[in-house]
Amino acid sequence: MFFTRLKRFLLGQPLPLYQATHETIPKWKALSTLSSDAVSSVAYATDAILFTLVAFSAASVIWSIPIAIAIVCLLVIVIASYRQTIDAYPTGGGAYTVAKENLGTYAGLVAGGALLMDYTLTVSVSVSAGVENIASAFPYLQEHRVGMGIIVILFIMTMNLRGIRESATIFAFPTYFFIFSGFLLIGMGLYKVLTGQAVPEVPPIVGSVYPVVPAILILRAFASGCAALTGVEAISNSVAVFEPPASRNAKITLVWMAFILAGLFLGITLLAHLYAVVPREDQTLISLLGRRVFGETLLYYALQVGTAFILFLAANTSYAGFPRLASLLAYDGFLPRQLTSLGDRLVFSNGVFGLSFAAGLLLALFEGHTIRLIPLYAIGVFLSFTLSQAGMVAHHLREKEPGWRSSLFINGIGALTTLVVLADLTATKFLSGAWIVVAFIPFMVTFFKNVHQHYEEVADALTLGDRPFPVAFKKIKHTVVIPISGVHQGVLEAVQYALSISQDVRVCYVELDPMVTEKVKTEWEKWAPDIPFVVLESPERSVIEPFIRYLDDVEETSKDDLVTVVIPEFVTSKWWHRFFHNNTAVFIRAALASKPRKVVTSVRYHLRGNW
């Protein structure tokens, strides 16, 4: 098959199930795969702070420094809290698992819905920000941002469908290239200031007079900058992908990520202050700083490419977390069961497809503008942070394992801090678009509950209950109806099969043209005169509706247990040949899918041909 060969070319050969235990990665690969979301946020977190402050006054941007320091302090608290989570849940303690086990099912569903939404927004925000950085260097690409973003999502999707090892290897180099480029930018920028090559255009931070600004403005800027913390939970959610000892390696990688994120975030915010740079609609902060520090050199373009790549790879963090979380929800019966299935390459392929579709749709709806997506961002993250840490508090109070008091204190501080930040985010961003997230999470929880109720109803309907066993099977009486569009070899084989299962076989033909009907009837009397031939009139020229009405009449008059529909089908030698035919059988099967006591069987006749 053509599609099978194409699939093998793009994704590789299927992996046997026993290799699932080998699909783990070392710390240096995990840092690139699971930390790219958090690390990449430095490319737009400071932008978000400055956009908020500069809207009030140019002088107020100096508040970006204390705001950035406060966010880094919050980062330390969150990282310390998630280290406790890794200890308590060494196989992976995502917010859904922790909240469900310790706070109840409803809290778990809220955390799961918030995380699924955040993973989707991560892909949309990261890809749109990456495209904007490329467009900042090459302005003629501005009008093609949405198309470029969709292409990037499709590429990342394909890489993840190949399996975690391959995607981690492919994505490792761009992550470390961005980290190197970012620290090079900060280092050279500070060096030029200290050596007098670049004279600061603003007063030094120490001794500066901070202008009086409304408290609500500081809170709004802080809330915007909290986008820097998105993605830090990915490591604790995915402990299972680490090489043994998984817990220890995950905790080490978590600390590495925190140091890198804090250094880049503080450094870029400091440079923006020293060089008096604020982002513009057509130029990101990274781009403006790169031009000031590197000039129009190869280093500037390398920085922009590196920034774009890390932002694209930030989406890859969601591809590690979203399918795994969706599979957990599906395993518990809150999402469709198909999400629990591993694909050929031992990844949750359906989750990968679902994430790609949702992220691409968001990207298109918001026209690839990162600044429009940011207000929706971070609320889901801090909601899951809060529920996860509150769940850990309940866990410590219940289990009281060795050292539980110190762990309780850390997770308690984490829960309280993230709750305060969540309240700030909700209050300050509500009218800017956060209301969409606030309204959508209850909708998702309701959807989860309805899916779970459906599975419970199906289980009740299918259970054998107290039925006596073994079952005494009886022979079923049924009438067989064969819809035909003409007389050919495939029809005769279908009749032969029908006669082998029932003595009551009827052939029916829907009349669309009386002259054609007479020809078909003459042919039928020639080849199979003993089989009843029924003509169904169709003034509306519909094939399906008269046939369904006839089946209902047969069921009512025959009083049989079942009505069996045997559909003769011919299978073309090439897959594209099927588009040259009506494929009425497909529509008949679809129409009968919801009809009780109707059995549909296809008898296929395979054609031969060279073209």
Residue 168's pLDDT is: 57
- Reduce the DSSP state of residue 481 to 3 states and report it: strand
Total Cβ atoms within 10 A of residue 96: 29
The pTM score is 0.74
Host domain of residue 553: 478-606
Query: Which token pair is 76?
Result: 């330390």
Query: Are 437 and 516 within one domain?
Result: no
Specify the pLDDT at position 207: 46
Last residue of a domain, one of 456, 487, 511: 456
Is residue 155, in this structure, part of any structural domain at all?
yes
Strand 505-511 to 533-537 pairing? parallel
Beta strands in 306-458 (DSSP E): none
**pLDDT for residue 451:** 93
CA distance 358 to 117: 9
CATH code (residue 591): 3.40.50.620
- Check: CB of residue 159 under 8 Å from CB of residue 167: yes
Are 432 and 492 contained in the same domain? no
Identify the pLDDT of residue 401. Answer: 83
DSSP state of 213: -
Q: What is the DSSP letter of 490?
A: H
* Cα 311 to Cα 288: distance, rounded to the nearest angstrom: 17
How many whole angstroms separate alpha carbon 450 and alpha carbon 444?
10
Q: How many domains does the chain have?
A: 2
Write down the pLDDT at residue 610.
55
Residue where a domain terminates, one of 456, 489, 521:
456
Q: Cβ neighbours of residue 70 under 8 Å, at least 6 residues apart?
A: 222
Contacts of residue 433, defined as CB under 8 A and 6 or more positions apart, other chains included, come to 372, 375, 376
Burial level of 556, CB count in 10 A (0-12/13-18/19+)? exposed
Do 245 and 101 lie in a common domain?
yes
Confidence (pLDDT) at 577 = 67
As given in the structure block, the two tokens for residue 122 are 């991560």
Name beta bridge partners: 561: none
Q: Which amino acid is at 454?
A: H
What is the structure's pLDDT at 216? 85
CA dist 157 → 3, 190, 350, 357 (Å): 17, 39, 11, 10
| b/e map 540-554, b = 16+ CB within 10 Å | eeebbebbbebbeeb
pLDDT at residue 86 in the model: 87
Residues contacting residue 356 through CB under 8 Å, at least 6 positions apart: 123, 153, 154, 156, 157
How far is residue 427's CA from residue 217's CA, in Å, rounded to a whole number?
12
Q: Residue 23: what pLDDT?
A: 56
Which one of 456, 491, 510 terminates a domain?
Answer: 456
Say whether both 175 and 323 belong to one domain: yes
Report the run of H or E that residue 386 belongs to, with start and end.
Answer: helix 379-399
Tokens 């929880």 locate to 445
Integer Cα distance of 354 and 325 in angstroms? 12
Domain-embedded: residue 364: yes
Query: Any alpha helices (H) in 56-144, and if so which ranges?
Result: 64-88, 95-103, 105-137
Angle (deg, nearest 10), helices 379-399 and 105-137: 140
My answer on whether 509 and 589 are in the same domain is yes
Residue ranges, the chain, pLDDT below 70: 1-23, 92-93, 162-171, 199-209, 342-346, 368, 371, 374-375, 575-582, 609-611
Q: Are residues 105 and 189 in the same domain?
A: yes
Per the CB < 8 A criterion, the answer to whether 483 and 591 are in contact is no
DSSP 210: P
